[in-house]
Structure 1
Amino acid sequence: MRQVILDTETTGIDPREGHRLVEIGAVEMVNRRFTGRTYHQYINPERHIDAEVVAVHGIDDAKVANEPVFAQVADEFWAFIEGAELVIHNAPFDVGFIDHELKMLKNRAQPLGPVGDHCRILDTLVMARKMHPGQRNSLDALCKRYDIDNGHRVLHGALLDAEILADVYLAMTGGQTALTLDAEVNQEQRSDTPSETGLSVQRMSLSPGQLRVIAPSQDERQAHLAKCETHQLRWFEDTPGNA
C-alpha cells in the first residue's frame, strides 16, 4: 500500500477568510517502508502572512516572496499524492486548505481534486483520541508518549513535521519500530522522561535480511539441553506403561 504522510503551513487559520498555503511537505511510504521520495515546496500565497502564524512556523512574507504560486506547482504536487492514502494529523485542516487551493485553479482542461475523491485519508489525531482518550494528542504530546525524538523541532515546518508524524504513525500502529520494556533498556539509553506506555520506541532502518541474530552461549546451550532432558524424563515416567 502506498501512503503519503503530509503536512502544510498556512497564512492563517481559515481558508474561508482568504488564507492560503505557504508550505507543503510530504514523505512517501510503500508497505510501511520509507521509499526515500519526499515532496517539499514553499509557496507564494499572494497575500500577507499573519504575525501569529509566523511565530509558529517562521515563514514570513519575505521568505516566500520569490517562491512559485500554487498554480505553478499544482500538477507536480498532485502527481505525488494522487491515489495514495494520506496520513495527516488533524486532516480536515490540511485537506481544507488543499481543496481551497485546487478550487482556485483557473483555465484547466482537467480539474484537480477534491482530495477526498482521489485519496484515502487517515487522520492520526482521530486515531490518537481513540487510543488515548482524555489525554493530550498533539504531535508533540505523541512524540513524548512514544519516545520519538523531536528535539530538533524548534519551529513548525511542513517536511519536518511530516517526517516526525511518519515515525509517530509507525509507532502508533506497531510497525518498523523496536520496542523494549523500559526496565530492560540500558541506563545510558533511557530518556529523563519515560513514555507513558512504559515502552521505548526507536526508528529502525533495517532492510530485509539484515535482522540481527544472537546465538546462545555454550553455557546457555548446555542449560537448554539439560532442561530438555529433564522434561523428556518426566514425560517418560508419567506415560502409562513406562513406570
Structure 2
Amino acid sequence: MNIFQLFFLIYSTHGLSVKVNRCYNCSETRDQTGTTLAGSNCFEPQPESLVSCSGLCLDEMSFDWAINGRQIIKLERFCAGSTWQESFCESGEASGGKYKDCKKYCDGDACNNDLSVGMIGKSLPLESRSCLVCANDDDGKMESKSCQDAENIEAEKCPLYLSEGCFTAFSALSIDAFELVENNGAHTEEFHRGCSAFVLESDFESISREWYNGQFAKARREFCDETSCNDKFIDIYL
C-alpha cells in the first residue's frame, strides 16, 4: 500500500464507527398448555442468552395447529444483519393443519426482549380472555381421556399471542380407514383444549386424511370467541 492509498483509507473511514447491539439468541417451543417441548428460556429471555451483533435484532414466532389438535408455538430470537424490514405475518394451511409465521425486527441494545411479535396484525386494545386448557394423548393405550370431559379442567388466562378465542380439538389415527370411520377403530386418540392463535370461519371443522404409509386420520376442531366457552364435552362420534 503506497502513501496515497493509506491517506485515502484514513480519510474515508475518519469519524465512522460500527454500531454494535446485543440481541437475545435463543429458541423455545411450547404447546397451548405452556409446556416446553424443545429449547428453553426464550419466552422469558435470560441475560446469558445475549450476544453481540453488528446489525438488527429479530424475533420470529410460528404457530401451528396440527391435525392432531395440538397448537404449537415456536419462538426464536437472534441477530438479523443490517437490512430493515417491516413486521409481518404469513399464514396458510398444509397437511391438514394451519400455520402462521410472524417476524419482527428491532434496532437497539437487547431490544428483542418481549412477545410483541405474537401480536402483529391484532386489533388494539387486545381483549383479555380465559379458556379451559389441557392436552391429552393416550400414546396408543386408549386409557386416559381427562381432556375429553371439561368437568375438572380449570380455566386459565390467555397470553396475548393466543388471544383469538378458545378451541377444542379431537383426533384419531388408525392403520385402517374403514375401521376408523365405520367402527371407531382408532389406535391413538388425542384431546386438546386451549387459547387459540387461529380463528375458524365456522364454529367447527372436520378433517379426514390418508397418508402414503397407510395411516388414516380423522380430526375435528371447534372454535368460540367468548371467555371459557370451550367447556363442552368432546363427542368423538360427531
Which has more radius of gyration?
A: 1
- TM class by shorter-chain length? under 0.3
TM-score, normalised via structure 2 length: 0.22
**Between structures 1 and 2, the one with greater helix share:** 1
